[in-house]
Structure 1
Amino acid sequence: MTSFIENLWSSIFTAGPTPTLLLATNFSFAALQVVLLVLLLATYSIHFVFLSIISAGLWYSINWFAREVTQAQAQAAEQETSAEQESTEAKHSAQTDPRARGTPDGADSDTETEGLLDRKSTQARLSTPQSASASTTLQVPGSASEVRKRLSVSGDSSGYASTDSEWEKVDDSNGN
């Protein structure tokens, strides 16, 4: 029993529907249906019939949603494994093809990262002027390095704002 509770607690923090969580959910809804049936028989109130129908609909929808999430996770895992296989095949073919090594021109070189470094440096040079122009347009006009002081709401010009001083002002005004 303690292992079930531990598994239930850990399944709360696990993404997706876990078997332990689904078991606890189904058991809870079954117990709710039994309680609603007992209350219907004890009171003969139509309200418990409607509550039972609503509960059954929610129970079904939770199980349907759990099945859909499980199917989506299975499809994502399948796509991930196929993408890994394709990338592995692409790496293997790139290593065996002599034209694919080195620079993008196909010339053979000592390192395989020269073409990558050239592309990164080109991108960095292109992005530098854009960021400089964006930073100049974000500044507020006329406030280069000017520091502004907030105006005091209470009229006290000392600049010291504390709740204690506010309570002292209230006490002084009540005492007079």
Structure 2
Amino acid sequence: MKEETKEKTKNFMDKVKKVFDRGIVASKKALGVAGDAVQDFSDKSVLRIEKMQLESKLKKQYELLGEYASDTFAKKNSIAASDTKVSAILKEIKRIKAEIKARETALASDGAVKPSAGTAAKTSAKASAKPAAKKAAAKPASKKASSAKTPAKTTAKKSTAAKKTSAKK
């Protein structure tokens, strides 16, 4: 009878082990799906925040253009797009609109931004922002906008790095 009890205990333990193994596999699968969903949500949140920051910058550029146009009209009674300050502001407006469009496209799709496209856009944004900032009058409002950009870029870089890491797995 002792042998029979040992065998029943062994069978029971094997069944319990199989149940736990299936539970662990199911849990890993569920956690993987949940992790992907959280990553997607955070990536889209970063894109939305970046888009809102860009829209704020766009508004500030329009304000700069309006202020400059108003001052110039008051002094000269004319203004031209060939004016260096006007052309710099218009160039920055065009760049910001392109960045906003890129974020909208990424949000409309699966939310994945290609690293090469995002990196190139950020590089060109930095390159074109510096000359525009030098040409345009440095206003305190524009300085605040540029300082707000840094944390979002850092977050975007972290999320891009996390995507690359999860893609390698």
TM class, shorter-chain normalised?
0.3 to 0.5
Higher RCO (Cα < 8 Å, 6 or more apart): 2
More helix by share: 2
TM-score, normalised via structure 1 length: 0.32
TM-score, normalised via structure 2 length: 0.33
Q: Give the greater-gyration-radius structure (CA).
A: 1
